[in-house]
Structure 1
Amino acid sequence: MQISVSRALQRMADRAQMAKTQEEVDSYKHRAQEVHHRINFLENCRPDIVGAIDRLKRSRAELAKEMEQITKEIAAEEKKLQELPTIIGELKQERQHLARETIRLRRRV
């Protein structure tokens, strides 16, 4: 009788262990499926990411061209600013010359 009870207890322990093991197997399968779905999702994201990179590179190229144009415009305006005193000086000399000519012509009249 003790052997039967012992065997029954052993079977119950074995079944409990098998149930626990089966739960672990199911848990690992579920986690493996989740990882598989995540891998598929990430692999499907690749074309979107590549497209975004291409779009950003085109935008960077356009901005670089615009930056180059703005740099040229700044250089042209700075050159005008540097030439400004010379041009003003020349115009003042011309104004003085015209004033002298006007005075000279008035004296003739």
Structure 2
Amino acid sequence: MQIPVSRALRHMADRAQLAKTREKADSYKHRAQEVHQRINFLESARPDIVGTIDRLKRRRAELAKEMEQVTKDIAAEEKKLQELPSVIVGLKQER
């Protein structure tokens, strides 16, 4: 009588262990799928990132040209400002 009871208890314990093992396996499988999806997403994002980098580099080149022109304009205006007193003196003498 005791042998069938212990067999039944062992069988229940085995089933519980099997259920835990399956649950753990399912969890790992789900995690692997999530990682796989994340990898695919990141790999597909590469062209967009490269495109954005190229666009930003072009913009940087445009801004560098604009900055160069602004620097030239500032230099020209500063030269005018430096020459202003002598121009005024010359015009006063002419007057």
Normalised TM-score (structure 1): 0.86
SS state at 1:75 partner: helix
Query: What's the CA shift string for 1:39-62, capped at 9, x where partnerless?
Result: 100110010001001100100110
Query: What's the CA shift string for 1:74-109, capped at 9, x where partnerless?
Result: 0000000100000110111111xxxxxxxxxxxxxx
- CA distance in 2 between counterparts of 1:85 and 1:10 reads 107
Task: Give the RMSD, CA atoms, in angstroms.
Answer: 0.5
- CA distance in 1 between counterparts of 2:5 and 2:67 reads 89
Q: Name the counterpart of 1:50.
A: 50
Q: Name the counterpart of 1:100.
A: none
Q: Name the counterpart of 2:21.
A: 21
In the alignment, structure 1 segments of 5+ residues that lack a partner are: 96-109
Q: Name the counterpart of 2:33.
A: 33
Q: Say whether 1:73 aligns with 2:73.
A: yes
Q: Name the counterpart of 2:59.
A: 59
Q: Which runs of 4 or more aligned residues in structure 1 lie more than 3 Å from their structure 2 counterparts after TM superposition?
A: none
Q: Which amino acid aligns with 1:88?
A: I
Q: Which amino acid aligns with 1:64?
A: A
In the alignment, structure 2 segments of 5+ residues that lack a partner are: none
- CA distance in 2 between counterparts of 1:55 and 1:11 reads 66
Normalised TM-score (structure 2): 0.98
Q: Name the counterpart of 1:3.
A: 3
Q: Which amino acid aligns with 1:12?
A: M
